[in-house]
Amino acid sequence: MEPKQFRHFVNGEFVGSTKTFEKRRPTDNALIGHVHEGGQAEVDAAVAAGKAAMKGPWSTMSVEQRVDLLHKVADEITRRFEDFVIAERDDIGQPRSMLEHVAIPRGAANFKTFADMVKNVPTESFLTPTPDGAGALNYAIRVPKGVIGVVCPWNMPLLLMTWKVGPALACGNTVVVKPSEETPGTATLLGEVMNAVGVPKGVYNVVHGFGPNSAGEFLTKHKNVAAITFTGETRTGAAIMRAASDGIRDVSFELGGKNAGIVFADCDFDKAVEGIARAAFLNCGQVCLGTERVYVERPIFDKFVAALKVKAESIKPGAPDEKSTGLGPLISAEHQRKVLSYYEKAKAEGANIVTGGSVPQMPGELANGHWVQPTIWTGLPETASVIREEIFGPCCHIAPFDSEDEVIAKANDTDYGLSTTIWTTNLSRAHRVAAQIEVGITWINSWFLRDLRTPFGGSKQSGIGREGGVHSLEFYTEQRNICVKL
């Protein structure tokens, strides 16, 4: 098959660059295409297209017309469902079951969800007394900010990209998307969808490339980008924040995590094992909300470790389209080296390797892919590298605890604050402990369960701001007060 060409999407047209780089499939390292790398010129053109669109037909659409158009975008994604599944499968190697039931449906739903929210979002109004007794009416209106820079991660490309693009467009902004260099597929394909349903030119733009001295840096430094939203690594977020300070642009960051799972002895044991297994190993551990630190109350510690070992060893790695596949590969050879380096650090620091710790034996061409084993450690002190630093692989360390105060202190002893999950049948304890964990979201007896209206984001080095529901609308709009003397 001829390698694909992943071109930029600017002002409704697919345009190329003289410089390209390879995109390889993580399951077998096969070449699937060449990605055109954007520089300053491509970013300038995309931002200019977005700025021009703010003054064109997009700006004169009523809210109802814009909502209707975004519903059509969602419907077209659904109509081309298989195309999006294949694009994302080739980019990240995720099992088809997860793509079909989570990634692509949620990617489409983000457009409808935020479009419908915009129709119903309230604003303030006040009748204000004045000295002459006539009074004044103060009311607020929401207006779009302008061109939004959307810098996306590679672990759930369509879902996390539309989580930003959906509300940005619903609020009347235009966007320039910089997908991860590892996952160009669905962001490019979405350009075809935008054209098919009649989204005005320049509303949705895509520029491919890397971060430093490439599309990412040029986009985040661009003076005509009104705000920047980013999901990804904390160090990259810090670099973007420095860039955004020139011009005082708004930022919204969802960054790294080193999330704790807390399992009390009175939990529903089987559900806790199943939940922690999902939180540690889903998407080969490449989930910002994943659980890499597990604390289990001492009376059930040994039993829990043994049960999670069985669960980890039952997860079958394989090709995404195989029904039995429960584990895909890591995104790249570089990331595989990073994760394996932590596997070696754990061994060097004296970890007890309960299971895993290496690369699985894969058949045929899959042996060329970026695979690692689901891995469980015990026995390390809280100062160990694999307990302090985000790994972003299918692994976790399990440690015992004896009291609520002890486990709360351990869960909070981290630079990050994204999420936690608590397993107990004592709901008084669950509420009590949840209120003391320094994170943006706490799950009780569940994990990865989301209501898109709720605030989502992290504390500490896990982010700035909140996404979801009206919280997204707050970021993508400015409120202006109008005072009318009566």
Amino acid occupying residue 77: I
CA distance 195 to 59: 17
115 neighbors 67 (Cβ within 8 angstroms): yes
Q: Is the dihedral of CA 346, 330, 462, 304 positive or negative?
A: negative
Q: Smallest Cα–Cα separation from 267: which of 276, 278, 279?
A: 276
* Whether residue 395 lies in the annotated active site: no
Active-site residue among 171, 284, 288, 395? 288
Q: Smallest Cα–Cα separation from 37: which of 180, 209, 177?
A: 209
Q: Smallest Cα–Cα separation from 204: which of 175, 224, 180, 230?
A: 175
Amino acid occupying residue 197: V
Active-site residue among 88, 181, 217, 254? 254
DSSP 8-state code for residue 2: P
* Whether residue 152 lies in the annotated active site: no
Amino acid occupying residue 84: F
The residues facing 253 across adjacent strands are: 230, 464
372 neighbors 355 (Cβ within 8 angstroms): no
CA distance 229 to 241: 10
Angstrom CA distances, 117 to 113, 144, 224, 469, stand at: 6, 15, 27, 7
Strand (E) or helix (H) holding 77:
helix 63-79
What lies within 8 Å, CB to CB, of 442 at 6+ separation is 419, 420, 421, 422, 434
What lies within 8 Å, CB to CB, of 289 at 6+ separation is 257, 259, 279, 418, 419, 441, 447, 448
CA distance 370 to 400: 32
Count other Cβ atoms within 10 Å, centred on residue 17: 18
Pairing state between β 441-444 and 419-423: parallel
54 neighbors 174 (Cβ within 8 angstroms): yes
> Quick one: tokens of 322?
């195989």
The residues facing 334 across adjacent strands are: none
CA distance 419 to 79: 34
Angstrom CA distances, 132 to 199, 267, 479, stand at: 50, 66, 28
Residues recognised as catalytic = 254, 288
